Structure 1
Amino acid sequence: MPKIAADGQHLTVLNLFSTDAPEKQEKLLAAMREIVDSAAYEGWISSTVHSGQDRPGTANLIQWRSTEDLEKRYAGEEFKHRTLPLFGEITTSIRLLQNEIAFTQQKPELGGVTEVSPTRDDYTVIELFGVEEKDQEDLVDALGESRTWLLDVPGYRTHTVLRGLRARGIEGRFVVVYSQWDGKEAYDTFRDQPEDGRTADRRKTEDRVSALRTWQEENTYQVVHTRTAGE
C-alpha cells in the first residue's frame, strides 16, 4: 500500500474534483478507477482514490517519480482530449496540485509510518489553504511542527503537510494538510470544540494560521481504491 513520507523521493500530486450531486460523484469514482487500473505511465508510482463524505467530490493522491514525468502525462493526447473533457462534464471544479511533502506526524503506535489504503478505516480530512508566497514557509511550520499537540487529541492518527509547488485550478501559493482520524465523530468533536475548551497551544497555533492564510476550505473522505506500479 502507498506510504506518505517526507523523504523528498517523490512528487506528490493531489487531484481534487468537486461536483454537485452524489450520482455525479459515483461517475467520477468509476472513471477514476478505470484510469488508475489501466495506468502504465512512465514515472507513475501509485494512485489512491478517495470518495467525498461531507460534500460530493473525489480526491486522488498520486505519487510520481518527477515533475517531468507528470508533465509528459499532461501533454499526452489521452489526457487532453479524453480525461479532462470527461471530468469537465461531471465536475464543478478541477484542481491539480503538485506538492512536496514537508512534514508528517503519526501516533506512536503507528510506528512512524503513514499508510493510505482502502483496507484501513481512516476518516480522512483534506484541508487546502491559500497563502502569500512570502508566508508559505511560516504556514507550513504552523500547520506542521507547531502542531505536535495533536498527538494528545483523542481520535487523531496522523497528519501530513504538503508544500504546494504549482497547480492547475488555483492561483497563487497554497499548502495542503492531509490528516487521518478514527472516525467522523472524533474529528467533528475536535473541530467543533468550544474555544474555551481548547488548549493554549492549540489556540496559539490557530491564531497563527488565521493570520497567515488568505483562504481555507476542506472536505472529508474515505479511501476506496488504490494501485501501485507493477500490480
Structure 2
Amino acid sequence: MPIISTEDHYLTVLNLFTTDTPQHQDQLLTEMGKIVDSAAYEGWISSTVHAGQDTPGTANLIQWRSGEDLQKRYAGEEFKHRTLPVFREITTDIRLLQNEIVFSRTRSGHPRVEVSPERDDYTVIEVHRVAQGDQDELVKALGEGQDWLAAVPGYRSHSVFKGLRAMFVEGAFAVVYSQWDSKDSYDAYQQAPAAARSAARRAGEERIARLRTGCDANTYRVVHTRAAGQ
C-alpha cells in the first residue's frame, strides 16, 4: 500500500476534482480507475483514488519520482487531448496540486502513514491558501504545531504538504491530509465548543487563522490504489 512519509522524498500530486452530482462522481471514479490501472509512466510511483463523501468529487493522491517525470506526463498528447477534456466535461472544478511532504504523524507518533482501500479511514483533505511569505510558517503550524491532535478521540493521522506549484490554482498553498476513525468522530472534533477545546488547540487554531487567507475541504473514502510494478 502507498505510504506517506517525509523519508521518501517523492513529489506528491493531489488532483482534486469537484462535480455536481453523485452520477458525475461515479463517472469520475470510472475514468480515474482506467488511468490508474493502465499507468506505466516513467517515474510514476503510485496512485490512490478517493471518492468524495460530503461533496461530490474525487481526489487522486499520486506519488512521482520527480517533477521532471510529471512534466513529461503533462506534455503528452494523451493528457492534453484526452484526459483533461474528459475531466472538464464532468467536473465543476479541477485543481492539480504539486507538493512536497513536510510532515506526517500517526496517533502513536509513527511518522509513516498508510493509505489504502483495505483500511476504513475517514479521510479529510484541506487546502489552505496563504501569502507566499507566510507559507513556511503556516506549514509548521499545521504540522508540528498540532501535537495536541494525538489526544483527540478518533484521530488517526495527519500529513502536511507544502505546495510547490499547481495547475488551475493561483498563489501559495498548503495541504493537510488527515485520517479519522469515522465521520462521527471527525464531526465531533469539528463541532466541539470553544470551551471544550484545549488551550493548545485554541492557540494553534488562532495562529493558523492569522496566517492563511482561505481554506476549503472535503471528506473522502479511499476506493482504489495501484503502484508501479503491480
The percentage of counterpart residues that share the same residue type is 63
TM-score (norm 1): 0.98
The answer as to 2:77 corresponding to 1:58 is no
The question of whether the paired residues in 2 share the 8 Å contact of 1:118 and 1:225 is answered with: yes
Measured in 2, the distance between the counterparts of 1:215 and 1:18 equals 18
1:98 Cα shift? 0.3
- Residue type matched to 2:207 in 1? R
Measured in 1, the distance between the counterparts of 2:127 and 2:9 equals 23
1:100 Cα shift? 0.3
The question of whether the paired residues in 1 share the 8 Å contact of 2:127 and 2:174 is answered with: yes
Measured in 2, the distance between the counterparts of 1:64 and 1:75 equals 15
Measured in 2, the distance between the counterparts of 1:6 and 1:172 equals 24
Which residue of structure 1 lines up, in the alignment, with residue 152 of structure 2? 153
1:169 Cα shift? 1.4
Which residue of structure 2 lines up, in the alignment, with residue 190 of structure 1? 189
TM-score (norm 2): 0.99
Within 5 Å, which residues of 2 pair with 1:1-231?
Answer: 1-7=1-7, 9-108=9-108, 111-231=110-230
1:213 Cα shift? 0.5
SS of residue paired to 1:86: helix
- Residue type matched to 2:87 in 1? F
1:8 Cα shift? 5.0
SS of residue paired to 2:157: strand
Measured in 1, the distance between the counterparts of 2:110 and 2:54 equals 30
Measured in 1, the distance between the counterparts of 2:183 and 2:33 equals 25
**Residue-by-residue CA offset, 1:12-41 (whole Å, 9 max, x unaligned):** 000000001000000000000000000000
**Residue-by-residue CA offset, 1:56-100 (whole Å, 9 max, x unaligned):** 000000000000000000000000000000000000011000000
Tell me which stretches of 4 or more aligned residues in structure 1 moved more than 6 Å.
none
Measured in 2, the distance between the counterparts of 1:229 and 1:220 equals 26
Measured in 2, the distance between the counterparts of 1:107 and 1:82 equals 41
Number of residues of Structure 1 aligned to a counterpart in Structure 2: 230
- Residue type matched to 2:48 in 1? T
The question of whether the paired residues in 1 share the 8 Å contact of 2:9 and 2:100 is answered with: no
Measured in 2, the distance between the counterparts of 1:166 and 1:150 equals 28
Measured in 2, the distance between the counterparts of 1:174 and 1:111 equals 25
The question of whether the paired residues in 1 share the 8 Å contact of 2:5 and 2:111 is answered with: no
Q: Give the unaligned 5+ runs of structure 2.
A: none
SS of residue paired to 1:74: helix
1:111 Cα shift? 4.5
SS of residue paired to 1:105: strand
Measured in 2, the distance between the counterparts of 1:63 and 1:100 equals 10
The question of whether the paired residues in 2 share the 8 Å contact of 1:155 and 1:187 is answered with: yes
Measured in 2, the distance between the counterparts of 1:216 and 1:147 equals 17
The question of whether the paired residues in 1 share the 8 Å contact of 2:51 and 2:59 is answered with: yes
Measured in 2, the distance between the counterparts of 1:220 and 1:175 equals 17
RMSD: 0.8
